A and B are shown apart, each in its own frame.
Chain A
C-alpha cells in the first residue's frame, strides 16, 4: 500500500506568517500533485511536480519535489485568510490513479 503522510495535520497561524506543509512517502511516484479543498467541494489542483528536485512557484506558494521523488513540500509566504482550507498532496503512478495524503487543515487568522 502506498502511503502519503502529511504534516502537520492542523495548522493555525496569523496573517502574514510563513508556513510549510510536508508530504512524505516511502514510495517513488511519477509525479506529485497538490490540491486545495474547500468544505463541501471537490479538490482543486494547484500544481503538479514531475522532476526530482523540481521547484514551482504559484504567487506566494512554492512547491518542491524531493530529489528521490518520494516527498514534497508546500511553502506559503505571508499567508492570508484566503489561504484557509484543506491542502492535499497526491502521488501518481500506474494508470494515473492518485493516492491522497490525509491533508493539512490550514487556518489563517486575520
Chain B
C-alpha cells in the first residue's frame, strides 16, 4: 500500500542551526502539506503546496520556513535558524484531489528537538 515517508524520524539540533525535513509523498498525489504538532497540543497547519508553489500558509510559516520540491519526488521543509519553540513533530501529508473528495495521507512524522 502506498504511503508517505518522512526522514529523519528524529533530529536533535542546536538552537540557530538549519534543519531540513524530507518527505516523499505518494507518487500520484498532487497536493502536499506540512503540519506540526507540539507535544500535547493540536495538529497545526503550516503550508500547502500545489503545482510547484505555495498555495496557502499559516501565520506559523514565517520567513524562517521554506518548502521546495526539488526533484519531483521529494518535498522538503527547511527551517533556517531553529528556535526552542520549533521543537515538535512535523507531519507531511499529501492528497490526490483538492477539497472534500481527497483523503489526506499523513507520514509518520519527524520529531524535531531543538536544544
Complex interface: stretch among B12-20, B67-75, B95-103: B95-103
Residue of chain A at shortest CB distance from B55 = A95
Tell me the complex Cα distance, A30–B98, Å: 11
Q: Which residues of A contact B41 (CB under 8 A)?
A: 102
Q: Which residues of B contact A94 (CB under 8 A)?
A: 56
Tell me the complex Cα distance, A37–B91, Å: 12
Which of A40, A42, A50, A98 is B107 in contact with, Cβ under 8 Å?
A42
Interface residues of A in 57-101 (CB under 8 A from B): 88, 90, 92-101
- B100–A42 touching, CB < 8 Å: no
Residue of chain A at shortest CB distance from B107 = A42
Which of A44, A90, A98, A100 gathers the greatest number of chain B CB atoms within 10 Å?
A98
A44-B106, A48-B103, A102-B41 are known contacts; what are 6 more A-B pairs with Cβ within 8 Å?
A45-B105, A48-B100, A95-B99, A96-B31, A96-B98, A96-B104
